[in-house]
């Protein structure tokens, strides 16, 4: 018998054996048998015409119908089915055919199965890739909704906290006034403690509002002339008490361009550099040093803040600029804002980045890693555009920038 005749001869036995081998339960076998009959007909057609592409339609249909669990687990069901079919075919022709008929039949079938396995692998890969892409899209959508929800919560919480905070400030001021003439050292100490807590809470609320403005692209900038070295000196004067108490050194090195008049929001830039220097103080052990330096580049001024602190791991060098990020175990942090590894809500660096980027600049950090014994240190880089003229008022509103100039 020739190969087509052999295939017709063993057709029913092949379908019955494959169905019983691979499908459990009468109902499942009945449904699966219809698929096997279709596959077998296309297999015969492929052998008779010499074109293995005849099996493409059923392979494509099978690849498009995996279960969600199959996709999650990366199961290659079509390849497994085809391999099982091939093994059963090999067993069957060895049992029922002469040696020559078996060799001729297998010689005709193998190229088709080889083609089918290759095609099935590609179909399954495409289906798997499409599934993963959809899963990633879903995850991305969930993350975006979560981020919007977090931003909304921050905005609402910050504004809701402002009202009771203002009331506490008012009542504390009245207590202070009422006890001015007959106050005791103990009462003064209690009121001062309340005021310190109020100032700390006010700073956190203001930071939350700033983060909300940055997240929603609502931060407006008041562009006016400024000189960076004057800004740096003001920041140093504010932080010098913390630096001295920690026995640290804070060095401001003059560099080309630091005395050049620029246009920017001096209040916001002051806030950004204060956050960066406070962060350097916080993560530098007592007795360490912080150096602020810089240089002029074509169209930009680069400011660097280098410390001899505990450093930052490579995997944390981007996440530290995300809101509420913390280095290390937050439960082990001290309570002071500028004490070594002092606690905080993790908003200083995200706010600094938002302010720098709102000015058209960028910020990044370099460090050899985190090591609290060796203290490899960190260097923050701030790149600011050299803006020697105020932004054109006609275009300022497009970028949410307020322009106020004395000229």
Q: Could you give the percent of the chain with pLDDT greater than 90? A: 39
For 337-384, the DSSP string reads SSSTTB---S-HHHHHHHHHHHTT-EEEEEES---TTT---EEEEEEE
No. of H helices and E strands in the chain?
Answer: 11, 8
Q: What angle do CA 63, 68, 70 make, to 5 degrees?
A: 60
Q: Reply yes or no on whether the pLDDT at 123 is more than 90.
A: no
Residue 14 · residue 88 · CB < 8 Å: yes
To which residue do tokens 């004067």 refer? 237
CA 126, CA 120: separation in Å to the nearest integer?
10
* Closest C-alpha to 18, from 99, 83, 98: 83
Q: Strands of 362-367's sheet, edge to edge?
A: 249-252, 289-297, 300-307, 378-385, 362-367
Number of Cβ within 10 Å of residue 21's Cβ equals 13
Mean pLDDT of the chain: 83
Interval 221-236 mean pLDDT: 94
pLDDT tens by residue, 46-104: 999 999 999 999 888 887 775 444 445 444 578 888 888 899 888 888 887 888 888 98
Top pLDDT among 282 and 195 is at 282
Q: Could you give the percent of the chain with pLDDT greater than 70? A: 85
pTM reported for the whole predicted model: 0.57
Residue 303 · residue 262 · CB < 8 Å: no
Question: In the chain, what are the helix, strand and coil shares in percent, each to the nearest 5?
Answer: 65, 10, 25
Q: Reply yes or no on whether the pLDDT at 339 is more than 80.
A: no
């Amino acid at each position: 018998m020739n190969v087509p005749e052999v295939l017709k001869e063993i057709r029913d036995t092949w379908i019955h054996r494959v169905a019983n081998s691979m499908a459990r339960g009468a109902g499942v076998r009945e449904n699966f048998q219809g698929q096997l009959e279709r596959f077998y007909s296309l297999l015969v057609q492929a052998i008779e015409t010499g074109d293995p592409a005849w099996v493409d339609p059923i392979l494509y249909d099978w690849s498009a119908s995996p279960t969600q669990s199959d996709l999650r687990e990366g199961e290659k069901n079509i390849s497994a089915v085809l391999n099982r079919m091939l093994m059963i075919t090999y067993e069957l022709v060895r049992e029922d055919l002469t040696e020559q008929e078996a060799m001729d039949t297998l010689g005709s079938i193998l190229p088709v199965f080889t083609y089918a396995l290759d095609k099935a692998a590609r179909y399954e890969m495409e289906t798997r890739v499409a599934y993963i892409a959809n899963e990633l899209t879903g995850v991305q959508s969930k993350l975006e909704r979560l981020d919007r929800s977090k931003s909304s919560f921050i905005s609402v919480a910050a504004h809701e906290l402002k009202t009771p905070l203002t009331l506490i400030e008012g009542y504390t001021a009245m207590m202070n006034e009422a006890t001015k003439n007959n106050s005791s050292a103990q009462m003064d100490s209690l009121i001062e403690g309340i005021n310190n807590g109020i100032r700390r809470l006010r700073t956190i609320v203001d930071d939350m509002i700033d983060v909300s403005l940055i997240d929603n692209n609502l931060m407006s900038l008041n562009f006016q002339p400024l000189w960076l070295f004057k800004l740096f000196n003001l920041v140093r004067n504010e932080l010098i008490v913390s630096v001295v108490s920690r026995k640290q050194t804070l060095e401001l090195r003059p560099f080309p361009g630091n005395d050049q008049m620029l246009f920017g929001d001096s209040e916001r830039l002051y806030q950004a550099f204060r956050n960066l220097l406070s962060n350097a103080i916080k993560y530098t052990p007592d007795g360490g040093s912080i150096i602020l330096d810089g240089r002029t580049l074509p169209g930009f001024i680069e400011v660097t803040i280098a410390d001899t602190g505990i450093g930052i791991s490579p995997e944390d060098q981007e996440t530290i600029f995300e809101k509420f990020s913390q280095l290390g175990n937050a439960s082990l942090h001290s309570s002071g804002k500028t004490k070594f590894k002092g606690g905080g809500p993790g908003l200083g660096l995200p706010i600094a980045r938002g302010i720098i980027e709102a000015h058209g600049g960028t910020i990044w950090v370099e460090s050899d890693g985190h090591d609290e014994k060796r203290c490899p240190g960190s260097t923050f880089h701030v790149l600011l555009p050299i803006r020697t003229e105020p932004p054109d008022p006609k275009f300022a509103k497009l970028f949410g920038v307020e322009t106020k100039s004395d000229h």
